[in-house]
């Protein structure tokens, strides 16, 4: 069972006046549920969070009473409750980038036959905030809430190349693998992506995460100070080859970003709900 990055209660950079360890631990429980996961028991949650049994039991009981978790008596396991779902969808519906980019993403998915996705960073993973698929039977089946690794997925690399040096350095300090070989591999992928982005204005990731998956990506940093995000157009080799990435998909993603900036800043007369 996959483990997530754990909160360290002994980290002096986090513990300070006004910092609520109890709140962090409660949020750790909620973060342990991934897209497509079956219901989880307390033992599953202990493994995923690294929290003690008594702490997990207390937090799951409290979160269930508040509606953030639902307890199945027969299975003796938990699922995310209505309060959690409502909170997530409220955040998405109030995010202008998610809302305004949808018709642009739909148009690109239809044009390319690939899957077009928007994701933001959560610790050391990219989380899908929006996803538009074509009608192709072989398109990627990742969904809203799906998580991808930061350092070797097309989405992660597209996000990283849009950061400042200081922002990337902080992520390296906190989240690069400790293993020297893995760390060197991730740094090389990032360096190659940075060079490609400087040369082309987009990045390609062919088999860097899963061998059969290819992706073209761009970063996007809203000018209103909202957190940066990334867009990718991904699919299998039969859909995305080097020629289509270079001649069609990369330029189309750059055009999507330009249109999105115009819409968000009111410089374009295209209505938000229109199909672009």
Which CATH number do you get for residue 53? 1.10.10.10
Bigger pLDDT: 151 vs 17:
151
Q: Which pLDDT score is estimated for 273?
A: 45
9 pLDDT more than 60: no
14 pLDDT more than 90: no
Number of domains in the chain: 2
What number is the average pLDDT over the span 201-228?
93
Same domain, 119 and 254: yes
CA distance 16 to 70: 32
What number is the average pLDDT over the span 89-99?
79
Confidence of residue 31 (pLDDT cuts 50, 70, 90): confident
Tell me, yes or no, whether 12 lies in a domain: no
Last residue of a domain, one of 35, 67, 83: 83
From 83-87, 177-181, 238-242, 260-264, the region with the lowest mean pLDDT: 83-87
Bigger pLDDT: 91 vs 254:
254
Q: Which pLDDT score is estimated for 141?
A: 60
What number is the average pLDDT over the span 101-121?
93
Confidence of residue 269 (pLDDT cuts 50, 70, 90): low
Same domain, 172 and 105: yes
Same domain, 75 and 95: no
Q: Which pLDDT score is estimated for 239?
A: 86
Tell me, yes or no, whether 275 lies in a domain: no
Same domain, 33 and 70: yes
Same domain, 78 and 115: no
From 10-19, 159-168, 222-231, the region with the lowest mean pLDDT: 10-19
CA distance 218 to 220: 7
Same domain, 71 and 98: no
Domain that holds residue 152: 91-264
Residues whose CB falls within 8 Å of the CB of residue 146, separated by 6 or more in sequence, listed in order: 35, 36, 127, 128, 131
144 pLDDT more than 60: yes
For 230, other C-beta atoms within 10 Å of its C-beta total: 28
Which CATH number do you get for residue 190? 3.30.450.40
CA distance 62 to 64: 5
Q: Which pLDDT score is estimated for 15?
A: 53
Same domain, 77 and 131: no
Same domain, 121 and 205: yes
Phi, psi of 207, rounded to the nearest 5 degrees: 75, 15
From 6-10, 14-18, 203-207, 241-245, the region with the lowest mean pLDDT: 6-10
CA distance 103 to 10: 45
């Amino acid at each position: 069972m996959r483990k997530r990055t754990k909160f360290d209660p002994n980290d002096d950079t986090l513990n300070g006046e006004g910092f609520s360890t109890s709140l962090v631990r409660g949020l750790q429980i909620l973060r342990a549920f991934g897209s497509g996961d079956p219901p989880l028991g307390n033992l599953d949650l202990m493994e995923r969070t690294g929290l003690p049994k008594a702490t997990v039991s207390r937090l799951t009981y409290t979160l269930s009473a508040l509606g953030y978790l639902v307890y199945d008596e027969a299975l003796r396991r938990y699922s995310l409750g209505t309060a959690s779902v409502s909170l997530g969808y409220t955040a998405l519906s109030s995010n202008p980038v998610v809302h305004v980019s949808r018709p642009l993403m739909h148009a690109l998915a239809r044009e390319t036959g690939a899957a077009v996705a928007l994701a933001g960073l959560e610790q050391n993973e990219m989380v899908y905030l929006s996803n538009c698929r074509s009608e192709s039977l072989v398109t990627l089946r990742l969904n809203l809430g799906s998580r991808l690794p930061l350092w070797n997925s097309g989405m992660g690399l597209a996000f990283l190349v849009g950061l400042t040096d200081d922002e990337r350095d902080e992520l390296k300090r906190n989240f690069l693998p400790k293993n020297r070989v893995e760390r060197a591999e991730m740094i090389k992928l990032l360096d190659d992506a940075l060079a490609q982005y400087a040369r082309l204005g987009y990045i390609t990731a062919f088999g860097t995460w899963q061998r059969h998956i290819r992706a073209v990506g761009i970063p996007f940093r809203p000018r209103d100070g909202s957190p940066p995000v990334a867009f990718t157009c991904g699919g299998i080799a039969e859909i995305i080859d080097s020629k289509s990435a270079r001649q069609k998909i990369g330029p189309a993603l750059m055009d999507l970003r330009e249109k999105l900036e115009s819409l968000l800043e009111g410089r374009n007369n295209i209505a938000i709900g229109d199909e672009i």
